[in-house]
Structure 1
């Protein structure tokens, strides 16, 4: 992030605008709308800009920019067609530690003007850091279509009750929950319908009857294999509601970026033979937080009910009467296979697919290997990197063809995805050669041979090793 986004209060403040043409006028419109007093310096000035100066009770000086024009201003804006003048304004403003914006010259700016969606008092700013302003405007256009004008009236209603809600609820979480109920329920619908008086009456009644006493709840959410675009809509909604998040190492940083910013985050990740928090303690922590009235998000990589131990976690919650929701996620098998161009089933190659944990208890291959070695099926081993050699040897020992294709997918669905392909005889050596690291997924079966034809990502974005 090259620029830290913030909103600057300009009402009644003096702002320097150097330039008198069309671009300067467009800037002046926004500054005037924010209540700034315009101090315009230019050799010539358009009539609309001159009117804006008068309307804002600002000042106008016809002439060249001089350093003293920066006296008493809180912001400097350069909108001339003279690169030398623009640079001098930038240098002089920065020397005084004044924020400065130079139109179409992000390298000279300390602040930039975003594309704006105005639903005052709700204002949305979109910025590309000056690198792609047309894209920022396209995003603004899409948001303009999505957000009705009544959002501004809804924000105004919330503003009028803000202090009353703050007085009633001393706890920030209680206030947040109250406002979420208001802004997502029938009160908001009355505003959208134009019935603001009715909405205000309903909000007053809701506030008078609200006790602020709410019970805790747990959301058990599958975060998918890594690509944030694979999250479900329900997962995104609950990720934005939760006050506390317990997450593991398989949840990608891109997915974590979508969690509510002010939520408390607790890492409970696990590696082979290394648990930051043992499973029974995770279960108890979920229970304790819910009993405190918290909305708790248990965010897991993949799907919580496929080798995710989600059943153990909700078992304790159910026994203690804690409400919970379970949101499935795209499991690693389907996500990673799809991104690697490997169909898990195919009429000519595999009529069934089996999901198997690759964690071999005490290094003991206690699986039904004769069944797994049968042809006509696809085997997907989760967490099998450390046991890869043993897996290959046991399948060979029980009759699976040495030429059976095998793919190991590393960091599947992410930009760091690698696919290492071999067969039961060669895959172990190939994986060692390319020093694969977790998280990984292993796919065994004839369907792997199809990936050359069906790899829709190819070498453009992800690395393939054959």
Structure 2
């Protein structure tokens, strides 16, 4: 994070703008809305800007900027001239006095940025790009304007009126947060939006009087194969409200960034011969945290019910009487094959698809080999990289063509995705040659031949 976002209270605080033109006028409008006392120094000043200065009880000094100006009297300074040298002088002088300074459209000479703002006072949302793309910030602001109801400001003000009473009743901050989240999911918002404040007061008072210790719950959430944009809306909502996130090795860093920032995060990843926490320990953790009244997000790569051991976990939760929800995710088979340009089924090549796990048991995978040797069928192997050579040999021994196409999709749907195509005869040798690493999905079948013409992801990135 290159910049640290803060919100400044500038009511009745002196702020200085260096410059008297239209750029200075635009910045003065924002400071005026924040209630600042606006001072301007410039050789000339626009009439509209002068009016703002006078309305704020500020002063206009008709002069050029001087480094001898006493800057510590100002909460912040904005350099808004069209002279780069002057703006640089303002920055250097403010830095020497430890005064916050912004030089308009000149990021290297800024100690703070003025973001694009969505104003639903007292709710204020800001969007900033560290000065790299103000136009992009404004476009994002426009999108937010369209989806955030204007009544949100009234809801924030209403909530502030009740904040002290809620805090007195519910002293624990985590439990208090749950109270507000549940309340905002009730009809309260519509009452406030429609100015039915008597009903809103009655609802919050009743809810507060009837409030009880919240019960813990577990969310088994499929995080998909890696691309955060493949998350479902429900997955994102539950990730944002969970008190604890228990996640595995296949959950990508960008997806973890979308979890609630102050949630406790517990890593329980499994790699071959290296289990950070055994499955029994994971089950116990889910029960432990939920029994403490916490909302627990068990975040799994792919889908919880496709080689994700989600069934084992909910059996444990059911036995312990813990409520739970299951949120399906895009499994690696569909996500990785799509991003590799390989359809798992096709009228001309495959009328069925079979998901298998390639985990070895005592040195050999236990698979129904005779059922797998079928011309118009696609095989998808999860976790089959280590045993790939053995799997290919077994399929050939049981009658599969040695030239049957095979694709390896490593780190699918992520920027590090790598796809290698071969045949049952030669694909194992290409693992070391192309430095293929886990997690890798193996696709076996005639549909692999379609990749050459359907690799849309590579073309989109070219």
TM-score, scaled to structure 1: 0.97
SS of aligned partner of 1:363: coil
| 8 A contact 2:364–2:387 mirrored in 1 | no
Aligned twin of 2:393: 393
Aligned twin of 1:229: 229
Aligned twin of 2:417: 417
Matches within 5 A, 1:251-290: 251-290=251-290
Aligned counterparts of 1:393 and 1:208: Cα–Cα separation in 2? 69
Aligned counterparts of 2:150 and 2:231: Cα–Cα separation in 1? 29
Aligned counterparts of 1:365 and 1:377: Cα–Cα separation in 2? 20
Aligned twin of 2:101: 100
Aligned twin of 1:28: 28
Aligned counterparts of 2:115 and 2:170: Cα–Cα separation in 1? 35
Aligned counterparts of 2:72 and 2:364: Cα–Cα separation in 1? 78
Aligned twin of 1:294: 294
Aligned twin of 2:127: 126
SS of aligned partner of 1:415: coil
> Larger deviation: 122-131 or 66-75?
66-75
Aligned twin of 1:115: 116
Aligned twin of 2:216: 216
Give the superposition deviation at 1:376: 1.2
TM-score, scaled to structure 2: 0.98
Give the superposition deviation at 1:105: 0.8
RMSD over aligned Cα atoms: 1.2
- Report how many residues are paired: 461
| 1:47-95, Cα deviation, whole Å (9 max, x unpaired) | 2211211222222111011121413112110000111100110111112
Give the superposition deviation at 1:295: 0.4
| 1:274-329, Cα deviation, whole Å (9 max, x unpaired) | 00000001001100111100000000000000000000000011112111000000
Matches within 5 A, 1:359-370: 359-370=359-370
| 1:211-242, Cα deviation, whole Å (9 max, x unpaired) | 3x111000000000001111111111111111
**Structure 2 residue 444 is matched with structure 1 residue 444:** yes
SS of aligned partner of 1:422: strand
Aligned twin of 2:54: 54
| 1:406-455, Cα deviation, whole Å (9 max, x unpaired) | 00000000011000111111111111101111110000011000001111
Structure 2, unaligned runs of 5 or more: none
SS of aligned partner of 1:457: helix
Aligned counterparts of 2:275 and 2:166: Cα–Cα separation in 1? 42
SS of aligned partner of 2:201: helix
Aligned counterparts of 2:365 and 2:25: Cα–Cα separation in 1? 75
Aligned counterparts of 2:57 and 2:196: Cα–Cα separation in 1? 37
Give the superposition deviation at 1:273: 0.7
| 8 A contact 1:16–1:69 mirrored in 2 | no
Give the superposition deviation at 1:149: 1.4
| 8 A contact 2:359–2:365 mirrored in 1 | no
Aligned twin of 1:331: 331
SS of aligned partner of 2:456: coil
Aligned counterparts of 2:287 and 2:195: Cα–Cα separation in 1? 43
| 1:248-283, Cα deviation, whole Å (9 max, x unpaired) | 010011111111111100000000010000000100
| 8 A contact 2:357–2:383 mirrored in 1 | yes
| 8 A contact 2:269–2:277 mirrored in 1 | yes
| 8 A contact 1:303–1:328 mirrored in 2 | yes
